[in-house]
Structure formats: structure tokens, C-alpha cells
């Protein structure tokens, strides 16, 4: 009888970490989706500790750290997630890019968005954010290319008029530079800055983007990108 009780106890204990991790993740994810990062943080940390092979926890926890303003911890946990990720590498690279953009390290942000797009060419927000990063580095041709692809992937995006205006201004700026028209260059830059102030980085709503992207992976849709 004692032996049977010990065997049963061992069985129960062996199953407890998985149950604990599952419960912590479910509760942490619920708080995450409800935009309550402070409540989500300890639960997701617990879930990661219990199951360090769960790539989704790295992604969620990295975004929670972003929301709480701790970019160092966000980058660290997301980089650790890359080592185990098979399904969410695009979103992990994408969110590292958002952290680098927030740090104003635009070159590294561009690199991370490029990595994300190398994994998933249909990650529309990756093109938008890479365009913004390229714009910050005055890489205007590359920015126009990325804005154009973003609009191909998201033709109904509410920011479309502003993005199209940026493309128009960048085209005029390029023409002014070719003609060495200094006054026109200054005017176009001023106009573009006004438009850019109202153009949001897709990373501003990275939580919802990542949740929806995770769901979309179960029902992927491929879009042909026009040259």
C-alpha cells in the first residue's frame, strides 16, 4: 500500500511542472492579451522557467518587457528565444528590431527587420518598420521600396494616404537632389517631417500584431509581391 502511494506521488509530481507551466502560460497570456503587462510578467517568467523550450513564452515575455520599458531584458529574452524557435523566428526578429528602433539604433533595427522578412516575406509590418528605419538613415530609395511593398500587402491600411504622401515627397526630394535645388530640398524635407510625425511605426501596436500573427500561422495566406 505504501509502495503504491509512493508510485502515485511520483506520477503526480512528475506531471506537476507541465501543469504548472501550462497554467502560468494560460494566465500570463490572458493578462498579456488584456494589455496588463505587469500582471503578465511574473506568470510568463514562471512559465519560461518551467518550460524553457516554449518559444511562444519568449515572444510574449519579450513584448511584456518592451511594454514595461525594459529594453535590455526584452532584447535578452528575445535573443534567447531565437535559439529554440522554429515557428516564430520572424516575430522574434521583428520585435528585436522594434527594440533597436526604440533605442534609435536604426541600422541594427533595419538588420533585424531584414532577418524577419527573410523568414517571412509576407510580414507586412516588417516592411513598414524597415522603411521607417531606412528613412531615419536617409536611405530613401530603400524606404520607397519597402513602403510600396507594404501597401501591396496591406492595401486597406488606414495609414495608406500618409504613406503614399511620404513616397511622393521622397520622389520629389530625389529629383530636387539630382537638380541640386537646395531650397526645394529643404522644403521637401520639411513637408516630409510633418507627414512622418503622423505616421506610426507598426511596432507601436506590437502586442496585437504578435497575437494576431501567431493566430495567422495556423491559417497562413501567401501574397505575391509585385516587382
- Confidence at residue 7, expressed as pLDDT on a 0 to 100 scale: 35
What is the C-alpha to C-alpha distance for residues 81 and 65, in angstroms, rounded to an integer? 14
- Measured in residues, the chain has a length of 227
Output the CA–CA distances (angstroms, integers) from residue 60 to 57, 133, 181, 190, 210, in the order listed: 5, 23, 49, 38, 8
- Confidence at residue 223, expressed as pLDDT on a 0 to 100 scale: 44
- Confidence at residue 117, expressed as pLDDT on a 0 to 100 scale: 98
Rg over CA atoms, the chain: 22
Enumerate the domain spans of the chain: 121-218
Residue 122 contacts residue 142 (beta carbons within 8 Å): no
- Confidence at residue 144, expressed as pLDDT on a 0 to 100 scale: 94
- Confidence at residue 190, expressed as pLDDT on a 0 to 100 scale: 74
pTM of structure: 0.79
Mean pLDDT, contiguous 10-residue spans, the chain (227 residues): 38 41 85 93 95 94 95 97 95 95 95 97 95 91 95 94 90 72 72 68 62 63 49
- Confidence at residue 60, expressed as pLDDT on a 0 to 100 scale: 94
Amino acid at each position: 500500500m505504501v509502495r503504491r502511494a509512493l508510485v502515485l506521488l511520483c506520477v503526480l509530481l512528475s506531471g506537476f511542472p507541465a501543469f504548472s507551466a501550462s497554467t502560468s502560460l494560460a494566465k500570463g497570456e490572458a493578462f498579456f492579451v488584456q494589455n496588463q503587462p505587469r500582471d503578465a510578467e511574473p506568470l510568463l517568467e514562471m512559465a519560461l522557467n518551467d518550460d524553457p523550450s516554449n518559444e511562444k513564452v519568449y515572444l510574449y515575455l519579450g513584448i511584456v518587457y518592451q511594454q514595461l520599458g525594459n529594453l535590455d531584458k526584452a532584447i535578452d529574452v528575445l535573443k534567447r528565444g531565437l535559439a529554440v524557435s522554429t515557428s516564430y523566428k520572424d516575430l522574434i526578429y521583428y520585435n528585436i528590431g522594434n527594440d533597436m528602433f526604440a533605442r534609435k539604433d536604426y541600422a541594427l533595427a533595419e538588420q533585424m527587420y531584414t532577418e524577419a522578412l527573410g523568414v517571412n516575406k509576407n510580414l507586412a509590418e516588417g516592411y513598414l518598420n524597415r522603411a521607417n528605419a531606412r528613412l531615419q538613415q536617409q536611405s530613401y530609395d530603400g524606404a520607397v521600396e519597402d513602403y510600396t511593398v507594404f501597401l501591396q500587402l496591406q492595401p486597406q491600411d488606414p495609414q495608406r494616404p500618409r504613406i503614399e504622401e511620404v513616397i511622393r515627397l521622397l520622389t520629389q526630394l530625389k529629383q530636387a537632389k539630382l537638380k541640386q535645388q537646395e531650397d526645394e530640398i529643404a522644403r521637401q524635407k520639411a513637408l516630409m517631417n510633418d507627414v512622418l510625425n503622423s505616421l506610426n511605426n507598426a511596432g507601436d501596436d506590437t502586442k496585437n500584431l504578435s497575437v494576431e500573427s501567431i493566430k495567422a500561422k495556423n491559417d497562413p495566406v501567401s501574397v505575391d509581391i509585385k516587382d
